[in-house]
Chain A
Amino acid sequence: MDSDLKQNIRGATPETWLVPLVILIFCGFTYWLTTEFARMPPILKRGIQPSDFPQLLIALMVGLTALIVWKDPIRVSERIQNPTLKAFGIIGVFVLLVQLDFFFALAVSCLGLTLLWKKRDWYTFLIVGFFVPIGVFFLFDQVFEVRFPRGFLTNLWYG
């Protein structure tokens, strides 16, 4: 066995295998998708078939993933920190709340993010949860004429 590979196996963490595996699964799935693309008759194909270029890229990505395992393995010693996990949770909450109201979702998410930095002053909450979303809403609505998705708060303005 190659000495680089032996050394990589010795110092491996779960991510060393997990990340390349995820990439390979992604490549396998996208390759399967490319086989579903419509094929052009020779007279219309203009050089290459629509699936050729993506397949070429996927093959290259598979090769590079193998190279990563062999030559440049992924080694992450520290776990994802708690605040970052909570931030993912906040993004999830945003995705759910957006169904109710876009700006309500933004305000709640921003308050959550402020809490992640361990800030609990009422004026920070007021700035981040109220003034900034309102200011951004009117800036985009009035200056850039952007119309936001309707919700129980934006309906107050749009009528």
Chain B
Amino acid sequence: MDSLVTGLLALADPSLVVLLIAATLGGVIIGALPGLNATTGAALLLPFTITMEPVAAIAVLTAIYCSATFAGAITAILINTPGTSASATTCLDGFPLAQKGEAGRALGLAVVASTIGGVCSVIVLMLAAPLLARAAYSFAPPEYFALTLFGLSMLATIGGGSPIKNILAGCLGILVSTIGIDLMTGVERFTFDMSVLSDGIGFVPVMIGVFGISEMLVQISNSQERLERIKLKAIKLPSRADYIKVWKTILRSTGIGTFIGILPAEGATVASMIGYNEARRWSKTPEEFGKGAIEGIAGSEAANNSATGGAMVPTLALGIPGSPTAAVILAGLMVHGLRPGPTMFTEQSDFAFSIFWSMMFVNLLFLGVGLYGAKIFARVTLVPVQILWPCVFIFSIVGAYALDQSMMDVWVALGSGVLGYFMRRYGFSVVPLAIGLILGEILEQRFGQSMVMLKEQWWLLPTRPLTLFFLVLTFLALFGKPIWNRIKQLRA
């Protein structure tokens, strides 16, 4: 309770409030720019936060996360191009409604649904994260190992891509995390006798590379595409009739989004897809979907924004990222010497609650920004790509260098960017690579500690009930769908 109040008092610091306002506006611009999303934005801005106080740094990153996730709807509605992948389903009804001359109404609905989803998910975060952390406090290394394995297994379904390729990318990320001195034994691995590699490969340059530089390389291929723009006269709050029609959809999608967000690695994109599909399934007029149904916009937007709060639950309570952007935030926590996990709620609970209140503040702030500023922010889509992407390149390179003032980080960022481009080209998602890199060290440490604890008898792992529970979840995450499909085939 004390931490709840102390955390709120952090917002009494005017410099933090100014930073949050700036980060929210920056996040809205990032989200509104097609091609840039919350993950890329957070990865690019992470080096800027290095010199900040930990509370300010993480609050800035979460502000970008929340506001960029919302702002993807602006371009989705006005130019039929989702600013972020989480807004892809908003295009389906947002753009048709805008074509009917109701862009303001569509944006108004998106803002209100996003705010409700975001605020509710932060409340869930405040309640669930400390409880989950308390439960995890009793975890021994085998339980942590199995939990981390479960978190990694969820990568299989990330981004709707091929599960096999996703796991392979995750394994590559974990393998990269083994570069450097082995903390358990002090032995150098994959260092080629280079002292710069002794500390391993930093995850920030890799993230800048795979999210920033590889995106630029992908965007160059799409440089010929032309976009249709819709003029926005004024943004409108939803009418009473609109509220009556969509309130159930907003609440349902908020629940779905928060739950999906809590699942390790599953983020706003999956949440918005499920939220949209459920909105259509429960609708009395499903035939209107795809032609400008307001329930479609509300279902998608409430779900993707509520996933942001949900994703922070496992990130802070267990140290397992709940989404790709949460992985960048986790990297930010580690850069500041903070170790997310159960101890965060016993030793640094004031810090944790400051972050929660900051997220609440940002969610309320973009209600105002969305309602009164959407017309202005819609204009950022007019920023020429010829200026935007070279700027992304400069910030990627300088950001990677600035972290440790090391050229090695620049080469790592460039190498990761090229690798990321080829991975995407051949159907491998880059998100598992980044998350594998972050979780790899923890996974190996816990595995090693478990082996010490169990006297190298790994087959004893499933004899511990909680470990068995997480291992079963891992098995289901990896093989549940193929087994279910096989059963259905056999029945048919």
Contacts and interface: CB of A to CB of B under 8 A. Distances in A.
Interface of B: 48, 50-51, 162, 164-165, 167-168, 171-172, 174-175, 178, 182, 184-185, 187-190, 216-217, 220-221, 223, 384-387, 389-391, 393-395, 397-398, 401-402, 405, 407, 410-411, 414, 417-418, 421, 425-427, 444, 447-452, 456
Nearest to B192: A33
A23 B172 CA distance: 10
Contacts of B414: 91, 94-95
Nearest to A81: B221
Given A81-B221, A144-B51, A72 B162 contact: yes
B442 to A, nearest CB: 12
A88 interface: yes
Given A61-B168, A119-B386, A15 B190 contact: no
Given A68-B168, A147-B405, A38 B187 contact: yes
Nearest to A114: B386
Interface in A90-141: 91, 94-95, 98, 102, 106, 109-111, 113-114, 116-119, 124, 127-128, 132-133, 136, 140
Given A37-B187, A54-B175, A48 B425 contact: no
A33 B288 CA distance: 59
- Please list the 3 inter-chain residue pairs (A to B) with the smallest Cβ-Cβ separation, ordered nearest first: A47-B451, A119-B386, A110-B390
A46 to B, nearest CB: 5
B231 to A, nearest CB: 25
A87 B394 contact: no
Contacts of B389: 113, 117
Given A72-B165, A117-B386, A50 B449 contact: no
A53 B444 contact: yes
A47 B384 CA distance: 56
Interface residues of A, number: 65
Consensus secondary structure, chain A interface: helix
Given A45-B185, A68-B162, A117-B220, 13 more contacts: A46-B184, A47-B456, A50-B184, A72-B162, A74-B427, A83-B221, A117-B223, A118-B223, A132-B391, A136-B395, A136-B398, A146-B398, A146-B405
A145 B394 contact: no
Contacts of B410: 98
B401 A80 contact: no
Interface of A: 15, 19, 23, 30, 33-34, 37-38, 40, 44-51, 53-54, 57-58, 60-61, 64-65, 67-68, 71-72, 74, 76, 80-81, 83-84, 87-88, 91, 94-95, 98, 102, 106, 109-111, 113-114, 116-119, 124, 127-128, 132-133, 136, 140, 144-149
Given A57-B174, A144-B50, A119 B384 contact: yes
A65 B171 contact: no
Contacts of A19: 426
A49 B426 CA distance: 34
18 contacts: A44-B185, A47-B448, A48-B456, A58-B175, A61-B175, A71-B164, A74-B427, A81-B221, A84-B221, A84-B421, A94-B397, A95-B411, A110-B390, A113-B389, A119-B384, A140-B398, A145-B51, A146-B398
Contacts of B421: 84
Nearest to B414: A91
B184 A47 contact: yes
Contacts of A145: 51
Contacts of A64: 164, 167-168, 171
A51 B185 CA distance: 11
A136 B394 CA distance: 8
Contacts of A30: 175, 190
